[in-house]
Amino acid sequence: MTTFFLAIAALLMVAIPKPTLTVEGQEGKGSLLKEASFGFKYIFARRGLLSLLMYFLTLNFVSGFAWPVVAPFILSRTANSSTALGAAQSAWAIGGVVGGVLMSLWGGYKRKMKNILIGEALTGFFGMILFGLANSLWMWMATAAVGAVFFPLVNGSSQAIWQAKVAPDVQGRVFAVRRMIAWFMDPITPIIAGLMADFVTEPGMQSSTWLGRTFGGWVGNTPGSGMALQFIFAGIAYIVITLGVTLFVPALRNLEDQLPDHDQMKTLEPAPVE
C-alpha cells in the first residue's frame, strides 16, 4: 500500500501537460462505443504494432503453461518447504530489480526490437529451460534471478516503442486495448497449466509411459518432474517463436523503421500547458 501512495504522490507533484491534438485523435472522438472501438481500429490498421501485440500475446499464452505452477513445482521438490519457495520467488524479484537498474544505467540497444527479441529468447533459456532442469534451491535461485534480469529490458523497450508510435492524445484508448489483448489468456492458462500438471505431465513422468521414459533422463521421475517439463517446453517454445518472428515477420522486425513516430504525424494545434 505504501508503494501505491508513493506513486500517486509522485504523480501529484508532476505537472502533466495536455497532449497535442492529432488528426487521428479527433477522428476517434464520438460516442462511447466509437471511442471504445477506436483502440482496436488504431492497432489493426498498423501491421507493425499488431505484430508486436500478437507476439506478446503468443508468449503470454506459452508462459502460462509454466509460471502458474512455480509454487507447486518448488514445493513438490523441497518437501513442501515454504522457505525454499520464498527464496526462489525472492530471487525473481531481485533479478527484476537488478535488471531495472541496469536498464536505467545502460538503456539497452538503440533498436528497441533488438532488446525485445534478445531479451525474450534469453528469458526462455534461463528463466524456463534452465529453471526446469535445475534440481537444487541454489540453481533455482540463480536461474530465476538471471531470467528476471531481462524483464525490464523487454518491457521497457516495448513501452518505449508504443509511446513513440502512438500519439499521446490517443494512448489511453490504444493502450487499454493493447493490455486487454496481451493479457487475454491470463485468466485461462493457469487452469490449463494446473490440469496439465495434475492429469498429464505429473502422472506421465512418474510412470512407465512414453513421457516418463523419454524425458526421465532430463528431469527425473519424481514429484515435480512433470511441471519441470512444462517449464522446459515453454522455454523451447519461447525461443522457437522468437527466432521465427525474427526471421519470417519483417513487419515486426522492422517496426521501428516502417512506422513513423507520433511526433511526425499531422497535428491540429498545440494544447496549453496546465
What pLDDT does 273 receive?
A: 45
Which of 139, 137, 129 is closest to 215 using CA atoms? 129
Give the helix ranges, DSSP H, for 19-168.
23-27, 32-44, 47-63, 70-77, 82-106, 112-122, 131-133, 137-165
Question: Which grid coordinates belong to 122?
Answer: 534469453
What pLDDT does 253 receive?
A: 93
Question: Which grid coordinates belong to 161?
Answer: 516503442
Phi then psi dihedrals of residue 268, to 5 deg: -95, -55
Residue whose entry in the numeric block shows the C-alpha cell 537488478? 98
String of b and e for 51-62 (b: at least 16 CB within 10 Å)? bbbbbbebbbbb
What pLDDT does 53 receive?
A: 97
Query: Tell me: the pLDDT tens digits for 231-245?
Result: 999 999 999 999 999
CA 86 to chain centroid, in Å, comes to 22
What pLDDT does 274 receive?
A: 46
Q: For residue 79, is it left (φ>0), alpha (ψ between -120 and 50) or beta? A: left
Long-range contacts of 245-250 (CB under 8 A, 24+ apart): 245/51, 245/55, 245/117, 246/117, 249/51, 249/55
Facing residues of 269 across strands? 21
Amino acid occupying residue 256: E
Question: Using the 8-state DSSP alphabet, how is residue 29 labeled?
Answer: -
Of the chain, the end-to-end C-alpha distance in Å amounts to 29
What pLDDT does 269 receive?
A: 54
* Residue 20: Cβ-neighbour burial (10 angstroms; 0-12, 13-18, 19+): middle
Question: Which grid coordinates belong to 221?
Answer: 521421475
Q: Which helix (H) or strand (E) holds 267?
A: strand 267-269
Query: Tell me: the pLDDT tens digits for 55-100?
Result: 999 999 999 999 999 999 999 999 999 999 999 999 999 999 999 9
CB-CB contact of 62 with 234 (8 Å): yes
Amino acid occupying residue 146: V
CB-CB contact of 270 with 20 (8 Å): yes
What pLDDT does 268 receive?
A: 57
pTM: 0.90
Low-confidence stretches of the chain (pLDDT < 70) are 265-274
What pLDDT does 73 receive?
A: 97
